[in-house]
Every structure is written in C-alpha cells, then in structure tokens.
Amino acid sequence: MSSDTEQRVVTPSREIEETSSVTLRDIIVAGIAGLIGMLAMMPLFGVGYLFGVIQLEAFAGLATIVGLGPSFPIGLVIFIGGGTTTLPLLFITLGNYLPPGKSIALRGMTFATIMWCGFLIAFYTGQAGLTLVAYLGLTLVAHWVYGFILGSLTNKYASIAVYDL
C-alpha cells in the first residue's frame, strides 16, 4: 500500500479505494445520491408545509436571489439543484474530515447538520413558539435523512477523496 496518495478502507458494504482524486463516476454517484436524498426530504417538508411550519415563500426567495422574481417552482428547482450538485461535491471532497470516523453514512449526517445551520437562517419565515420548535426539529430530521442517504450511497458506490495535508 502506498502511503503517499492512497489508503484502503474496508467497509461493511464493500471495499472502497480512497484516493486524492475525484473521478467522474464519484461525481455522478454523489449527484444521484444527493437527488435521492432530496427526494427523501420532500415528504418531510410537505408535512411541515401542511402544519404551517415551512412556508413556500422561503423557497420562492431562492428565485428572487438569482434575479428571477419570487417563484416557488423556480426556487424549488434551485434548492433541489443545489442538493444534487454543490452539496454532494462538497461532501465527496470534504467528507473524510468529518466525524465520526467509522461511518461514512454518519459523516453524511454530520455534513447535513452543518448545511442545516444555513438552511435555518435562509428559510426562516418568522416561526415562533411551538411552530419554531417544529421547524427546527422537522428540518433537522429532513437534513439527517438527506445526509444519511448521501453518505450511505456514496459509501456503497463511490469514494471520498483523501488529501495529503
């Protein structure tokens, strides 16, 4: 085993070779894992909407940020697009530096918790009291679902880069 740029990690699902490069396969797998994670989040957000915890205007705000005016469908596309491109790419490049060290699926949850902190601020629409508590809890669980799926599928079908520091 070369100690310069490669490490072999044995996982319960399969043997993964982790290298200092990210391949096209890794990018595609991470994107698909991110999309599946986003789709798994949506029912939780739907429940949140039904109970008044999450407002559609928050998603519409994403379209406004990019200059397309307030549009829920465009904002939703931007939200899902970020969860299938930017966030999975960040995860496959930075995932090895997150705790806990023994489980990539749990690292995905750690990653998602970090992303949740930004979500809280960006999608906050004035919730208070029990609605705020529900907003915090529901969106955290939704992000954990996303992160667990992202980490699990990445662990099974791709590799996470390891860099010499």
Q: Note whether residue 100 is domain-resident.
A: yes
Q: Note whether residue 165 is domain-resident.
A: no
Task: Print the domain residue range for 94.
Answer: 6-157
Residue 149 confidence class, pLDDT cut points 50, 70, 90: very high
Judged by average pLDDT, the poorest of 25-39, 70-84, 91-105 is: 91-105
Residue 165 confidence class, pLDDT cut points 50, 70, 90: low
Q: Check if the beta carbon of residue 104 is closer than 8 Å to that of residue 11.
A: yes
Q: Is-above-0.75 flag for pTM? A: yes
Q: Given the DSSP bridges, would you call strands 15-19 and 6-10 parallel, antiparallel or unpaired?
A: antiparallel
Q: Note whether residue 162 is domain-resident.
A: no
Q: Note whether residue 1 is domain-resident.
A: no
Cβ density class 133-159: b for 16+ within 10 Å, e for less: ebbeebbbebbbbbbbbbbbbbbbbbb
- Identify the pLDDT of residue 102: 84
Could you tell me which of 38, 44, 39, 138 has the C-alpha nearest to residue 88?
38
- Count: domains in the chain: 1
CB atoms within 10 A of CB 14: 9
What is the mean predicted confidence (pLDDT) over 122-128? 94
pLDDT at 13 over 70: no
Q: How is 18-87 classified by DSSP, letter by letter?
A: EESS--HHHHHHHHHHHHHHHHHHHHHHHHHHHTTSS-HHHHHHHHHHTTS-S-HHHHHHHHHHHHHTHH
Q: Note whether residue 64 is domain-resident.
A: yes
Q: Check if the beta carbon of residue 143 is closer than 8 Å to that of residue 112.
A: yes
What is the mean predicted confidence (pLDDT) over 102-128? 95
